[in-house]
């Protein structure tokens, strides 16, 4: 259930232009442009709009599907953190992934045999925040 409801004007003020375009207008960032696409640090990935924890680094992986490799890939979300909606835009039937807390668009989920779970959560980096588990840890 979406807990946070804001007007379009409020979202426009709170988000960056690119976040607003992707998260509220279901846009897609340019592949390989996202800061977190190849982030390998341990920690939690949050919703950039509301701060809710959505994914953790344990489920992040590098997809072998070339057309999906340019965005952060996850095998599974934290239980109950995301919602799904059928999306038939652009002549394709895809499953849209939204933040369950604020309803912001995050990306899509696809079947992917290279994923540990068989599901590939292909998210826009701009929709995510990142909280490193331990800022002093040496893993990179």
Residues that bind Zn ion (CB under 5 A): 47, 49-50, 52, 99, 101-102, 104
φ, ψ at 97 (rounded to 5°): -110, 125
Q: Which is nearer to Zn ion, 49 or 63 (CB)?
A: 49
Taking the complex as a whole, how short is the minimal distance between the CB of residue 101 and Zn ion, in angstroms?
A: 5
Taking the complex as a whole, how short is the minimal distance between the CB of residue 50 and Zn ion, in angstroms?
A: 3
Q: Clarify whether 127 is annotated catalytic.
A: no
Q: Which of 47, 50, 99, 122 is catalytic?
A: 122
Q: Which is nearer to Zn ion, 102 or 128 (CB)?
A: 102
Q: How far is CA 106 from CA 50, 55, 130, in A?
A: 12, 11, 14
Q: How far is CA 20 from CA 11, 17, 24, 26, 133, in A?
A: 7, 5, 5, 9, 27
Q: Which is nearer to Zn ion, 59 or 101 (CB)?
A: 101
CB 43 within 8 Å of CB 60? no
Taking the complex as a whole, how short is the minimal distance between the CB of residue 114 and Zn ion, in angstroms?
A: 28
Per DSSP, helices labelled H in the chain are 8-14, 17-19
The set of catalytic residues is 122
């Amino acid at each position: 259930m979406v807990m946070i409801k804001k007007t379009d004007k409020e979202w426009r003020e709170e988000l960056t232009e690119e976040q607003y375009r992707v998260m509220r207008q279901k846009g897609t960032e340019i592949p390989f442009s996202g800061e977190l696409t190849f982030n390998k640090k341990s920690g939690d990935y949050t919703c950039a709009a509301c701060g809710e924890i959505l994914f953790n680094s344990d489920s992040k992986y590098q997809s072998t599907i070339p057309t999906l490799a340019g965005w952060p890939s996850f095998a599974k979300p934290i239980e109950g953190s995301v919602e799904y909606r059928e999306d038939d835009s652009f002549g394709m039937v895809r499953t849209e992934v939204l933040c369950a807390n604020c309803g912001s668009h995050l990306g899509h989920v696809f079947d992917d045999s290279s994923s540990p779970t068989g599901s590939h959560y292909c998210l826009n980096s701009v929709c995510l925040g990142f909280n490193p588990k331990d800022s002093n840890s040496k893993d990179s």
